[in-house]
Structure 1
């Protein structure tokens, strides 16, 4: 009880500290819904600092956000939690621009404020807007920083279909992909006698790969002599912890198995030869960023908008399965080890094809931060 009270008090203090900032200094606000989201903001922050020296007010719902203790140059950081203080923050916000990665603005308890704030949405996944998101997820933003042409086509089609006001659609790109590309680790991984590593990184929900199949996914990979890093979605830890604990307990003495619940998990990504996924957007980051193939387990689609077919556009995550790797039916999961070994042996042939796909699907490869920074500065009053 006392811990809960202390948490609420800390959130209240964070909200009050934000409100004490003079209005003329509330030009550009970043809102982060969790600690793992900074990687999407970071390229934009760096470009803003390098080219404009633009100050940032960083508001986070993550109690353990490292930027609270050590804000970056040009940044002031505030903690408002996920409860009533966050609701008040949004309801009373008075600033020029708010950049956020959280969809569904205006649909639930997070509302637009009565002040003249420009709400800009920053995509935190390459996937399409109309299948794994709720129907109105992006309707109430003023502008959207689009990853690629698919986001523009989907958004404009929905606007016409439902007679919605046109938003400003910025040909932005994808900062997290730029960061992966900057690692210089594209193509087949160099081995030093260590086994092939498979990164198991599925989405969350009742149809998620871990939730539905658990040990049946990991066992054939371990049995084939492969290293396995399991990187569950944070929501899986919240909604299906027993599934994760079962797998970890089963392989607690297996040196070739590791659970990675780091919200960033960049090291696991870079050090893996193949990804095993389902409908997760992480598969597109891995494949397009590292030019390495993906195994897609054919679990039921993750659908939060049952009317997604109405716009007549096939989601990019559906298209991706045909071009970024191979699809394995769930009744053939026992063959995953053999499939992964074959793909690893042929990984070089994937590199050129995946590089070409990236150029077609993603805007401003390597320069997304500069593009976003220029746009955001243009919005400041």
Structure 2
């Protein structure tokens, strides 16, 4: 079994599954496109880890890989630079977020053999796409979300947060449709007017693609006793010590609301489904149905009343039950994700190798 990660940030997605496979004595080869991937420093005994180059060099190596199975969270197999190798029998996709599989760019998962998913609505969308496009049915295994299971364990082990002043975490995504793309620095100014402690955590991509804007905002609103700019590699602590998150169309909203069970405020944004698999479907875009159920919506009209919106969101428990409903829809088998993923991978690997043995015996 080979595992391909096109970026180091996906180590947290794979690590729980690899640890479970290691516990069973099942070896894997981890192929990463990041020279500083934490996996390279891991001491997991049954895992061999290799940096295979970045960008197209990594895809070039994957295109000629020899392996029984490949597990990856990278969409676009056999669509973009990454092609199916003739020497790989089976490709398995595991999601790296907790929402839409139809939010991948078009044809993102069409040429995988199997998918490990976390909710029935995802399976519905996959089957509809297969029917519309005339694709063979993939194997689908509902496993849950292994990395979220790990986060829940961390939350329990960390214990309750010490008493603190009310703290707001502003965690925008990047691009024109983000919080900063819509409101710019106005939202930071309004947050400072609340008197609450403010943590601003831009998307990592913003420091590359929107560097000029971020530099301007950081100069206009410098760090102080009230305001901090956060770039921690691990976002666990800033989520843990905040009382509410303000964000936009980002998977971090769901992780925060459903993992930490805390209120969120989501910016009202129109998500253009044109480039994505969702465009082909006439079923509801699940995230559009989920966001209004986990928190209040921030608009241009209610932005001036941001403090009241924050206070109402924190003090009103009416969203608690609907958050739990959303969690049930997108996170099946909580606590069992890694075990269920390992069950499928081991079972499938054994079936493929047994098939190889039978075919080899018949050819003799």
Q: TM-score, normalised by structure 2?
A: 0.89
Does residue 106 of structure 1 match 2:78? yes
Kindly provide the CA deviation profile for residues 109-136 of structure 1, in whole angstroms up to 9, marking residues without a partner as x: 1111121331111101122122x32121
State the partner residue of 2:172: 202
Rounded to whole Å, the distance in 2 between the matches of 1:302 and 1:311 is 14
Does residue 265 of structure 1 match 2:238? no
Gaps of 5+ in 1: 1-27
Equivalent pair of 1:211/1:240 in contact (CA under 8 Å) = no
Q: TM-score, normalised by structure 1?
A: 0.85
State the partner residue of 1:136: 107
State the partner residue of 1:168: 139
- Equivalent of residue 237 in structure 1, options 185, 189, 207: 207
Kindly provide the CA deviation profile for residues 54-84 of structure 1, in whole angstroms up to 9, marking residues without a partner as x: 1121111222222223443222211123234
Rounded to whole Å, the distance in 2 between the matches of 1:244 and 1:280 is 18
- Equivalent of residue 359 in structure 1, options 313, 328, 331: 328
State the partner residue of 2:96: 124
Gaps of 5+ in 2: 354-364
1:333-352 residue pairs with structure 2 within 5 A? 333-346=303-316, 348-352=317-321
Does residue 115 of structure 1 match 2:84? no
1:316-331 residue pairs with structure 2 within 5 A? 316-331=286-301
Rounded to whole Å, the distance in 2 between the matches of 1:313 and 1:264 is 35
Q: How far apart are residue 35 of structure 1 and its match?
A: 2.0
Does residue 312 of structure 1 match 2:285? no
> Which secondary structure does the structure 2 equivalent of 1:120 belong to?
strand
> Which secondary structure does the structure 2 equivalent of 1:102 belong to?
coil
Q: How far apart are residue 343 of structure 1 and its match?
A: 1.4
> Which secondary structure does the structure 2 equivalent of 1:144 belong to?
strand
Cα distance, 1:238–1:259 mapped onto 2, change above 3 Å: same
Q: How far apart are residue 201 of structure 1 and its match?
A: 2.2
**Higher RCO (Cα < 8 Å, 6 or more apart):** 1
1:45-60 residue pairs with structure 2 within 5 A? 45-50=18-23, 52-60=24-32
The alignment yields a C-alpha RMSD, in angstroms, of 2.2
Q: How far apart are residue 244 of structure 1 and its match?
A: 1.8
Matched residues, number: 349
Moved over 3 A (4+): 188-191, 348-353
State the partner residue of 1:151: 122
Equivalent pair of 1:96/1:379 in contact (CA under 8 Å) = no
> Which secondary structure does the structure 2 equivalent of 1:96 belong to?
strand
State the partner residue of 2:338: 369
